[in-house]
Structure 1
């Protein structure tokens, strides 16, 4: 990959020097040369898009610039459109991506997504009719059948956060010999809690219908080489933050899960409601406080569902939010007391170290996953 670029349209309400410093730091982290440019209108932006390199565009409010978001062309597959403010979903050309509402820090994730989806292409497979009902499948260049890692992103169940958060983990898992199924789902802030839980269950069930036989495109193998089959008896569901709760919920509901992995998960929903973590994220996601919708909490709260009856790995960074550390420690104690097979890992790292392939905590996690599934560990 020769280069990447961030293009900022005039009218974007952010300090350009700050955007540049954020972008340059991420370019360096990814090991890709990159530039940041400001354009005054649609004509300049068209020229930038024609370069065909991984591109993140901050379009701003101008109608002529935003109209380019839906324009098809060879540039689309390399383009991530990013609104730093909460705009809601926007229509983009086939192959392009729209992210929104993550503020200045969200530029980091937009750049990461633009680069990683070209470095490590995925096959997007729908498991339902809604645009958010899909999984991105990446397969290793190895013989099968291969174990499967289902990835459930976090973000306090809010729509501004999406499956791109797990791109780096998906690439790392494939290098370790896993099939990576990075699952998107409808978030409750737009579609309600029932839609979210139903989507996670449906997305995992859809794996049984994925036929990789004879399809080299699925794995990026040499032309004519069959992609490996999926070993559905060795499915690990790895959820980060809010996704940790979803991982344990789908395992408790009887999903085809051999190992449920919580990465800094929200594992005490009643406690999260009572302490208003994430500015009331739990209460908003579940549709009310625990005393108004107790049946929803009873079905969804990992603390209330023990014993889950599925082997679990609970991973927590020691420098994370103290309430999450408290929730995780108390959940593990409750699950073990109820008879569940739970391994607990708490090591140095913050909330995002658990999804950073370069972090020692992630390597500890994968050693435990490999051991639990009986997989020969590959060091990446």
Structure 2
């Protein structure tokens, strides 16, 4: 079935520090790759920018106070993209805010805007924080579909969010899976224990859902906050659940399963599966130590059993659940090493483990058009059959 044509407008606010030709190239590349019509406009001032805003707009607001004041207004399904890290920004109702990803944030913003225009998941909060929710996708015409719960990565840093997994959500739903895309508080702003507790609670919330039949028309803000009340004809097969994480999200996913989260399959997509060596090797410029409260560079790794022992998937085997470990052959060499050693250790401990290493990089494992993701999706489907 062909997608409905979509127009996306990228608006660059006054005072944005970036080469205009480079911004145009980034936007044009994304428009072409996604097959959408798009335009890029430079706003003269706040009034001009406001006149350009519409649902699906992607806005780089820049530094001017009048423009930034618009972020909190209810202007519809706008995606605000700050190239700098800007914690604590509260976008208006229906809007999203991505930040801290540099100019590549524009690419992610365009992808996020397109996804919100084309898909309407059911958003279910599981706590009071703005980062405690899951988006539920239910495939059309599939009674009691199996479920894939997705935990995004980003080296446990809050500049990365659940939008990373949206392309997989659409792909998996198209394959007949229900999908639970989990957001959670990250340790750089809330602490390690908040993160692990959120993933556990978010996965438990999945098993309490009784989704209603999805509406055919997208909601204005790209998701629905319906009451996931009594079942209205579409249930989930909660005996067939795969918990899948990407990168740091794989560590969180496998740790949650080891802690007792209900799953028939645990999936690592380019996972950070050895926290002890990850800290010693200063993986991700010290991402492990930063997330877990570890040492400064050159100091002895904390390596405490309470933290690393509980959190590192390599130290938790066997977990007693079938596992699929997917690794791109051109990814970070340390991640390849972690994946291989984890699969060997889990198998030696008695777990049922499939190790899948194919050509691809760190993001190819979550890109629907790649051969490595297609192989992973087929393996997930086979395991949940």
TM range (shorter): over 0.9
1:294-334, Cα deviation, whole Å (9 max, x unpaired) = 31000000111011111000000001011110111111111
**2:146–2:236 CA contact under 8 A, matched in 1:** yes
State the shift of 1:209 in Å: 2.0
* Alignment-derived partner of residue 199 in structure 2: 200
State the shift of 1:227 in Å: 5.3
* Alignment-derived partner of residue 263 in structure 2: 257
1:190-216, Cα deviation, whole Å (9 max, x unpaired) = 111100010001001001221224x44
> After the TM superposition, which of the residue ranges 287-296 and 11-20 deviates more from structure 2?
287-296
Q: Distance in 2 between matches of 1:248 and 1:38?
A: 45
Normalised to the residue count of structure 2, the TM-score between the two structures is 0.92
* Alignment-derived partner of residue 286 in structure 1: 292
Q: Distance in 2 between matches of 1:121 and 1:39?
A: 30
Q: Distance in 2 between matches of 1:20 and 1:42?
A: 21
* Alignment-derived partner of residue 345 in structure 2: 334
Pick aligned residue for 1:321 from 329, 332, 349: 332
SS at match of 1:282: helix
* Alignment-derived partner of residue 5 in structure 1: 9
1:342-369, Cα deviation, whole Å (9 max, x unpaired) = 0000001000000000001011001110
> After the TM superposition, which of the residue ranges 312-321 and 13-22 deviates more from structure 2?
13-22
**1:126–1:135 CA contact under 8 A, matched in 2:** yes
1:42 equivalent in alignment to 2:41: no
SS at match of 1:313: strand
Give the CA RMSD over aligned residues.
1.5
* Alignment-derived partner of residue 128 in structure 1: 127
* Alignment-derived partner of residue 318 in structure 2: 307
State the shift of 1:180 in Å: 0.8
State the shift of 1:131 in Å: 0.8
Q: Distance in 1 between matches of 2:240 and 2:364?
A: 25
State the shift of 1:3 in Å: 1.1
**1:270–1:301 CA contact under 8 A, matched in 2:** yes
State the shift of 1:121 in Å: 1.6
SS at match of 2:156: coil
1:234 equivalent in alignment to 2:233: no
State the shift of 1:143 in Å: 3.3
* Alignment-derived partner of residue 17 in structure 1: 21
Q: Distance in 1 between matches of 2:351 and 2:291?
A: 27
**1:212–1:218 CA contact under 8 A, matched in 2:** no
**2:270–2:328 CA contact under 8 A, matched in 1:** yes
* Alignment-derived partner of residue 65 in structure 1: 67
1:248 equivalent in alignment to 2:254: yes
SS at match of 1:12: coil
Normalised to the residue count of structure 1, the TM-score between the two structures is 0.93
State the shift of 1:15 in Å: 1.4
State the shift of 1:270 in Å: 0.4
SS at match of 2:87: coil
Q: Distance in 2 between matches of 1:184 and 1:372?
A: 25
1:271-294, Cα deviation, whole Å (9 max, x unpaired) = 100000100000111111443643
- Residues 218/33 of structure 1: CA separation in 2 closer, same or farther (3 Å cut): closer
1:348 equivalent in alignment to 2:359: yes
- Residues 247/185 of structure 1: CA separation in 2 closer, same or farther (3 Å cut): same
**2:6–2:114 CA contact under 8 A, matched in 1:** no
**1:123–1:218 CA contact under 8 A, matched in 2:** no
Q: Distance in 1 between matches of 2:30 and 2:115?
A: 12
1:217 equivalent in alignment to 2:211: no
- Runs of 4+ more than 2 Å apart: 215-220, 289-294
**2:56–2:116 CA contact under 8 A, matched in 1:** no
1:205-230, Cα deviation, whole Å (9 max, x unpaired) = 001221224x443997xxxx955211
Q: Distance in 2 between matches of 1:316 and 1:167?
A: 20
Give the count of matched residue pairs: 364
Residue ranges of structure 1 left out of the alignment (5+ in a row): 375-380
SS at match of 2:179: strand
Pick aligned residue for 1:363 from 362, 370, 374: 374
